[in-house]
Amino acid sequence: MRILSFILTISLPLFLMAQSNQQITEDFLQSFANAFNPHDTKAIMSHMTDDCVFEASAGPDVDGEKFKGQQQVKKAFEDVFATFPDAQWGDPKHFISGERGFTEWTFTGTKLNGTEVEITGCDLFTFKEGKIAIKNSYRKNRLLIKKEEISSEGVRTIPADSLKIE
């Protein structure tokens, strides 16, 4: 009887942890990715835990800028959509291993000032209770070689060192 009790004591938490992550599938991550292109923050946030964390690719800290909780994370995504009104994440590829996973993607968007961006990146995920607890984003830092500008004087090339990507 003691052996059975011991086995249950040890295996029950492992069983429950496995059950809590059972809902995380490639379809779940694809649904999360699909919510970004129409900028559907309600759908995006429904995939994330109440105590979720979003670690942005850029920011003042070594791990970028960190947003905690549903309100801060939602606001961060809304700010991205305001900065890039046509933001799209294409060709997502997903991988899941237990309570961790990642999605690779190609981001395209145009800032309000007309600057076009196209970069590849990925999100590293930590899952909890069948949802995304942490979304840690990484992206390439693509430098522009040159940009042509059309003015009343015709086309001119702007030197790369005078361009600033924010």
Quote the pTM value: 0.73
pLDDT tens figures, 34-54: 999 999 999 999 999 999 999
Beta-carbon contacts of 78 under 8 Å, excluding residues fewer than 6 positions away, are: 41
For the chain, give the mean pLDDT.
83
What torsion do the CA atoms of 80, 104, 65, 119 make, to the nearest 10 degrees? -60
Instruction: Give the chain's domain count.
Output: 1
Tell me which residue range forms the domain holding 105: 2-162
H helices present in the chain, as ranges:
2-20, 26-36, 41-46, 69-83
pLDDT at 21: 44
CA distance 11 to 1: 15
Write the CATH number for 79.
3.10.450.50
pLDDT tens figures, 99-154: 999 999 999 999 988 889 999 999 999 999 999 999 999 999 876 544 555 555 65
H helices present in 49-152, as ranges:
69-83
